[in-house]
Amino acid sequence: MGMYTAIHLASELKKDTPKEVIEILNFMSRNSNKEPDILPKHEFFKCERWRFLFTMDSYYFDYHTNCSFEYDGITKSWFLSVTSNLKNYDSEIENFINWIHPYLDKFSGEFLGYTRYEENQIPILIYY
């Protein structure tokens, strides 16, 4: 059966984030129904359920899945905020963080969020 893992992640993206990355994140966050034509050659996109990472949910955590991916006209940058949980069979969470890492507008050591396995009360903190 497997257990669920929660992910909470939030960050501003770099202003020079490629259009292809923005299109993928828009699709994953359900801002767009158009699946990207070309996917990067990265382990994350080999995961069978990559496209559902932001929308999967269960009753094992006291919140509902939520994703916000929005452009801010004042800062002229995109902001991503994800709260989701899934059976992390293909290491979707770790592969996503590895793929998105170069596009996050963070400094080394800054807090990004956390993951928490269903049976653990203590989360694993994620730093840039």
pLDDT tens digit string along 90-121? Answer: 999 999 999 999 999 999 999 999 999 999 99
Q: Please answer whether residues 55 and 67 qualify as being in contact, where contact means their C-beta atoms are separated by less than 8 angstroms.
A: yes
Task: Write out the two tokens for 14.
Answer: 């770099």
pLDDT for 1 equals 57
pLDDT for 56 equals 81
pLDDT tens digit string along 55-99? Answer: 988 877 777 889 999 999 999 999 999 999 999 999 999 999 999
Distance CA 99, CA 94 (A): 9
DSSP state of 89: T
* Identity at 56, one-letter amino acid code: M
Instruction: Report, as an integer, the average pLDDT of 28-53.
Output: 95
Task: Write out the two tokens for 20.
Answer: 């292809």
